[in-house]
Chain A
């Protein structure tokens, strides 16, 4: 159990009365909880202790939840190397987990852990107190066995926060349970999304789509020829933002300084050199390259990103939701940046476009993986309702 958790508080605070009373929620050590070691999985923040609570921690506790510990994570949450996300639920050590989703980590962790995983719309949940990496794409994913838990948690943490000005001025969705109309709800299949899936993944995806029909949903084929551009856009924009975002880890004000430097340039080089692991370093190098050498490519990527967002908005006029395979199947232990990206080829779109996405595990006895569902921005409540509808249909219910 200890190897799952990075930190468990010696004594949990007495939970407040609220809708989440009795719920144990695990976070990751990139979420600030005052007094907790918060290293975001990186040497850059070794022994760093958070000064104040993140907005999500404050709101979860106010809603009655107990924050039971933080689980081991990959460096700054990039990829899943070293992450134990999803395991606390499997071992009954938590009812739910918050897992940073930079390009699909929470959905893939849910898939690996055989639980539900939800990535909310960008801008729905305050990032105050989150030690992030890609400000315009990062999001707390929520993992749990139960979609009801996910909905209650999201209801507690979503909404405006005066400490996070980057939240758009929008109406927070109503998270009360709602029905999905059989026969009136369309799920789109984006033709270009799967690309060339390996045969096994392809047949599982087809099978998953069939169950949509069984649940009374209309399945419709859609086309977005640009879909394969989501990943390269993520590579460039995400890396550039990550490079800027980690500029603060310079060993001047906090973090670990390598002694012996003759001047501050040397101090930067040696301290930052020791701060980051090999995968993150290559990611940051990539971002720095686009910042300093290929700014034009970065600008192109930003333009294409806007086009992709518009493209998904067009698809939203043609279907209520989308079903997308969640993984292509790749190396289990990614060693390089390229391997890491390959894992997230089918999930990064939601981060690039700021869309909500839900991973639903397969029905009992059916082979992995399940299916990924997505919808327009701020359709979070309806997407969760769709998930509940599908789970209900599996149980033979007639929602």
Chain B
């Protein structure tokens, strides 16, 4: 049986998180009540003229720079001509001939851990179209148009056909999402539709350099679905080719329930004509440099720094730096004197799950870094134990009080004074002669039991380390 390999390229639409639409001052909030955010320009009333948003251009440019693409000194909008009710003027403004940026790449590791550089062909700006809703009015099918999304600012990232496996596509998208979130141009959520991915897939006998007819797959609403759809399509096309069928150029939709792709329609490519109204965009080198200074430290650099500066493992560093919010929070904790290891451990295992449970976001949660650091620093100074720290964290979400005040109020301050612990230990040893005998007979388990008893008698406040030392000394001394 012939072995096939896939040739995959992605087209990724990213909705920029600008305050306004791309060519007018309407709010860029597609999810509002239908047709609330509309004006003569985005409805293309007679006499209206488009005005390119400065914010859209800046956020698009930052995104390009964040992905290592080269901003072009001269780019322009074209008219992509087609007629459909979601398109209010018979053409979509897009950059077909002179895109905003060319080149760029994303580094990922493939399934075998080998580094792969996946190249970007170009990145261009375009406007989004309206949303169609199909309903029944009695027995009459009707189509409703919601223009809130019409004119929303988008960029489209078009990759080279460098991908060979579904996993590469998924890793690329995760890394892309991280980098775009870093520059702050978009949330890049496939679930919310702020990132939409079309995959172009063809297959060829492994080892040949052929570029065969490709099939476009749409309608995946998570990164996992992209992987599933690409995997399905590779198998489908390989089987077809094996059976001697010819692959034809067309578009397929991913059906997430049945986990199959279904043929949609012949691909219609309308003409693209230079738009005579939106001015040509000329970017001065100084402007590009100014944008570059606005770029934050990107995730790969940050992860490297976390390893060298804070002694995290590579895996930990990549995990923490993947989300700019998490990475920023981590660094804020360190700035407040928390050790990197404690900060990482408590952030990942305690705070993030707690924030999630309460339906909050890390930024703007009830526990800003200063409060959390105060708690962790008490833990580091042995003023409280880990158990108490977890309890106090829960309280921090419901109370404005300082962690110190909560610790005091709940009486969580740890007892480390040997004199205070002595009395408790003596009492427990007197009550548990059998256990004491077991310890002396070399049964370690019994020591733990005794520690537990003293801890209970202290109301959970005994410093476990001090307690263990004192107890061990006492039991052996008495023998």
> A residues touching B (Cβ–Cβ < 8 Å)?
32, 38, 40, 45, 48, 50-52, 54, 127-131, 135-136, 162-166, 240-241, 244, 246-248, 250, 252-254, 264, 268, 291-292, 295, 298, 302
In the bound complex, residues from chain B placing their C-beta under 8 Å from that of A291 are 81, 271, 273
Inter-subunit contact A247/B81 (CB<8 Å): yes
With A244-B91, A250-B90 given, is the CB distance from A40 to B271 under 8 Å? no
**Distance of A241 Cα from B90 Cα, bound (Å):** 12
List residues of chain B with CB within 8 A of the CB of A164: 49
Complex interface: chain B residues within 8 A of A295 (CB): 271, 273
A132 to B229, CA, bound (A): 46
Tell me if B359 is interfacial: C-beta within 8 Å of chain A.
no
Q: Which residues of A contact B145 (CB under 8 A)?
A: 252
- B52 within 8 Å of A by Cβ? yes
Rounded to whole angstroms, the CA-CA distance of A252 and B38 in the bound complex is 15
| C-alpha gap A285/B422 in the complex (Å) | 100
List 20 additional contacts besides A163-B49, A264-B84, A292-B81; criterion CB under 8 Å.
Answer: A38-B47, A40-B46, A50-B47, A127-B49, A165-B279, A166-B49, A241-B276, A244-B81, A244-B90, A246-B90, A247-B89, A252-B85, A252-B145, A253-B43, A253-B44, A253-B45, A253-B88, A254-B45, A268-B83, A298-B273
Q: Specify which chain A residues have a CB less than 8 angstroms from the CB of B147 in the assembled complex.
A: 253
**Which of B45, B50, B83, B273 sits near A51, CB closer than 8 Å?**
B45
CB neighbours of A130 from chain B (8 A): 47
Q: Is B464 an interface residue (CB 8 A)?
A: no
Chain B residue numbers with a CB within 8 Å of A136 are 276
A-B contact pairs, 13 of them (CB 8 A): A40-B46, A52-B40, A164-B49, A165-B49, A165-B50, A165-B51, A166-B49, A247-B90, A248-B89, A254-B45, A268-B83, A291-B81, A302-B274
Assess the B274–A248 pair: CB atoms within 8 A: no
The 9 closest A-B pairs by CB, nearest first: A247-B90, A136-B276, A248-B89, A131-B46, A135-B276, A129-B47, A248-B44, A32-B47, A291-B271
Q: Compute how far the CA of A293 lies from the CA of B108 in the bound complex, rounded to whole angstroms.
A: 43
Cβ B81 vs Cβ A45 within 8 A: no
- Chain A contacts for B49, CB-based, 8 A: 127-128, 163-166
Are A248 and B88 CB-contacts (below 8 A) given A135-B277, A165-B278?
A: yes
CB–CB B46/A166 < 8 A: no
Identify the closest chain B residue to A267 (Cβ): B85
Asked whether B395 is an interface residue with its Cβ less than 8 Å from the other chain, the reply is: no
Contact count A vs B, C-beta below 8 Å:
81
A166-B89 CB under 8 A given contacts A38-B46, A127-B49, A128-B47? no
Question: Which of chain B's residues has its CB closest to A50's CB?
Answer: B47
**Measured between C-beta atoms, what is the minimum distance from B56 to chain A in Å?**
13
Docked complex Cα distance between A166 and B279 (Å): 6
A161 closest partner in B (C-beta): B49
A244 touches B273 (CB 8 A): yes
Minimum C-beta distance from A278 to chain B (A): 21
Q: Which of A32, A45, A129, A264 contacts B85 (CB 8 A)?
A: A264
Cα distance A45–B44 in the bound complex, in angstroms: 13
User: B81–A131 contact, CB under 8 A?
Assistant: no
Nearest CB of chain A from residue B427's CB, rounded to whole Å: 84
CA distance A180 to B50 in the complex (A): 40
**Which residues on A sit within 8 Å (CB–CB) of B46?**
32, 38, 40, 45, 48, 131, 248
Q: CB-CB < 8 A to B274: which residues of A?
A: 302
Q: Contacts of A32 on B, CB cut-off 8 Å?
A: 46-47
Counting CB contacts under 8 A, is B313 at the interface?
no
Bound CA span A103–B286, Å: 40
B236 to chain A, nearest CB (A): 31
Q: How far is the CA of A310 from the CA of B334 in the complex (A)?
A: 64
| B79 with A250: CB separation less than 8 A | no
A127 → chain B closest CB, angstroms:
7
- A96 vs B47: C-alpha distance in the bound complex, in angstroms? 22
Q: 1/0 per position for B349-390, CB-CB distance to A under 8 A?
A: 000000000000000000000000000000000000000000
| Residues B15-61 near A (CB distance < 8 A) | 40, 43-47, 49-52
A264–B143 CB distance below 8 A: yes
Closest chain A CB from B381 CB (angstroms): 60
Which listed residue (B43, B81, B273, B277) contacts A166, Cβ 8 A? Answer: B277
CB-based nearest B residue for A53: B47
Binary flags per residue of B70-111, CB closer than 8 Å to A gives 1, else 0:
000000000101011100111100000000000000000000
Q: Contact flags (1/0) for B253-297 with A, using CB distance below 8 Å?
A: 000000000000000001101101111000000000000000000
Out of B90, B273, B277, B279, which one reaches A240, CB within 8 Å?
B273
Contact B279 A292 (CB under 8 A): no
Most chain A CB within 10 A, of B44, B47, B271, B278, is at B47
A268 to B143, CA, bound (A): 14
Shortest distance between the CB of A299 and any CB in chain B (Å): 9
**Which residues of B304-344 have CB atoms within 8 Å of chain A's CB atoms?**
none
Q: How far is the CA of A253 from the CA of B41 in the complex (A)?
A: 12
How far is A130 from B51 in the complex, measured between Cα atoms in Å? 15
Chain A residue nearest to B270 (CB atoms) is A292
